Amino acid sequence: MNGKTVYFRLLVGFVLMLAGQTNGNAFQRAERPNVVLIISDDQGYGDLGIHGNPHIQTPVLDKLGRESLRLTNFYVSPVCAPTRSSLMTGRYSLRTGVRDTYNGGAIMATEEVTIAEMLQSAGYRTGMFGKWHLGDNYPFRPGDQGFEESLIHLAGGMGQPGDFTTYFQGDRSYFDPVLWYNGQQKAFQGYCSDIFTTEALRFMEKKASDPFFLYLSFNAPHTPLQVPDKYYERYKDLDPSAGFDKDGRPFPEMSERDKEAARKVYAMVSNIDDNVGRVLDKLEELGIAENTVVIFMTDNGPQQARYVGGMRGRKGNVFRGGVRVPFFLRLPDRLEGNRDISTSLAHIDVLPTLAELCEAPLPTDRQIDGKSFYPLLQGRDVAGFDDRSLFFYWTRRYPELYNNIALHRGNFKLVGNTGYEAKESDFELFDIEADPYELNSVLDANKPIASALKSEMDAMIADLTQSPHLNRPQRVIIGSEQENPVYLNRNDADGERGIWTQEEVFGMWKVKTLEGRYRIRFKFIQPLKTKGRMVLETNSVILQQQHREVPTDEISMENVYLPEMEMDLVPFYQTEGRSIFPLWMELEKISGP
């Protein structure tokens, strides 16, 4: 049990002790609700029938939306790992150490307190199934961050080089995958979204006697766009650009490639729709639907050009098409549904809202950027939302001044797509209420507002970029009892920008080794065809061995001594003037000091 869990359990115990000393039914607490948080990946605001898309078939989610409280101005980050870290912690992603989707920047500091840890310390059972994308090794995995049960793929997506157990399956990476159950590889049969849902249903059945938190995080409809044929058949003849009432709203130009992508995305979303139906049916079967918070949301806008409700931009972009997403919340036994809430809310608000709703203590030793919107759900007015600012950015590695960056306060949103010396006049200012599609900058007529927002943006950037977790590398621990062997994958490799499937690229993994002797294995994307030497730089000591047995795509080093220290592991195969970086490396501790 880590220090964070002990702290929260002591606090909860103290609160319950005080409650037990109070006489009278007026102080008895209502039964705490279960929480089912469902999030999909790269599903945009327009990828639902309820949001005006005449083509996509989402009857379950449309019905859920009609029954729910609909947050009609709900915002996230422009890309997935930052959204997920903010969702889990109630903090801007840069505070958590998450600055990218790969290149070693999608590892959330283990010191962060997640929704799972917060609810677990208040007596909840916790499980997650699907996409984690906040660190694949100890101490950053779901099981290290409050989830007692987890089934995940690695990296940012199945079929990506970081998810090496599915990468080599190519166009079948979403089918019959090898996944990671509680940190161990396990083979499954079927389609990924169906598998994650089936395992989530089993978790609900096992934990239904206790309050539980289920995080069902679909990796669909993220690329690669793979879906069972029976779903694709529904859309194979569709023109996804036709049939919309444009009504003056922008509609993106769609290439034939975009149209085919939309067909596959719609098919993947229809599969998600069926699986959400399975979850809702299970809640009814278990008799707990009335006392279960069900949330459905997505992590950012669509990756490809398609209908997005007329909004400008898509995934990776700070315009509304990239950061405004669906958010439905249903809790039948205490919240009146079928209502719209138009207040600007965000991913950072979910943790404090669940803390209040579930009577769990918020962390008090760190800044929580979000604010509970539970009073809004109850129909009560609450101050503090209209006059606060929401910050958005997205560039690779770290924020760039002032590129793809925005600050939204009240009706106004300041957007920068310019350079570090930009003046206020180089920005765009939008009145979101009058211009929800962000088509016409009103900066010239509102220079004092732009100046104030620019000053606040500068202060926000200065604060976030000095966050300790951002400036101190998150290091995987090698040689611990909690994870042995350790597989280091491409998603968490730092080095050159954009390490993906390149062979001749400079890369490294930032780790902390525990003293001992190790067996180390290197796996390469393509077989090595020429003799050379395998090199592993470990800070002050360089290990190398000659290698003559080719062709091969694996090389091992045996009985390697590593001291206890923080180090950057830099492996490469050197041959004929080339340095080839491995796809992954495995380190198994075979003996102590």
Q: Known catalytic residues? A: 80, 133
- Residue 246, exposed/middle/buried by CB under 10 A (0-12, 13-18, 19+)? exposed
Alpha-carbon gap, residue 463 to 443, rounded angstroms = 25
Strand arrangement, sheet containing 389-393: 389-393, 403-409, 412-417, 428-431
DSSP string, 211-238: -EEEEEE--TTSSS----HHHHTTTTT-
Alpha-carbon gap, residue 15 to 166, rounded angstroms = 46
Alpha-carbon gap, residue 550 to 527, rounded angstroms = 8
- Can you tell me which residue has the tokens 């004092």? 448
Q: Which of 146, 129, 81, 127 is nearest to 108 (CA)?
A: 81
Alpha-carbon gap, residue 402 to 410, rounded angstroms = 21
Collect all residues with Cβ–Cβ distance below 8 Å to 257 and sequence separation of at least 6: none
Phi and psi for 55 in degrees, rounded to 5?
Answer: -95, -40
The residues facing 294 across adjacent strands are 36, 330
Alpha-carbon gap, residue 211 to 292, rounded angstroms = 9
**Pair type for strands 292-298 and 476-478:** unpaired
Task: Tell me how far CA of residue 194 lies from CA of 149, 219, 236, 460, in angstroms.
Answer: 18, 11, 21, 41
What tokens appear for 239 in the block?
Answer: 């023109």
354 within 8 A of 119, measured Cβ to Cβ: yes
416 within 8 A of 427, measured Cβ to Cβ: yes
What tokens appear for 373 in the block?
Answer: 């919107």
Cα 419 off chain centre by? 28
478 within 8 A of 445, measured Cβ to Cβ: no
What tokens appear for 272 in the block?
Answer: 């998600």
Task: Tell me how far CA of residue 87 lies from CA of 19, 142, 270, 539, in angstroms.
Answer: 30, 14, 24, 36
What tokens appear for 165 in the block?
Answer: 């157990």
Query: How many Cα neighbours within 13 Å face the side chain of 272?
Result: 30
Kindly state the DSSP code that residue 130 receives in the 8-state scheme. E
Alpha-carbon gap, residue 160 to 297, rounded angstroms = 23
The residues facing 476 across adjacent strands are 511
- Residue 36, exposed/middle/buried by CB under 10 A (0-12, 13-18, 19+)? buried
What radius of gyration do the chain's Cα atoms show?
A: 24
- 224 cis-preceded (ω within 30 degrees of 0): yes
Amino acid present at 422: A
Q: Which of 100, 227, 117 is nearest to 156 (CA)?
A: 100
Alpha-carbon gap, residue 493 to 162, rounded angstroms = 9
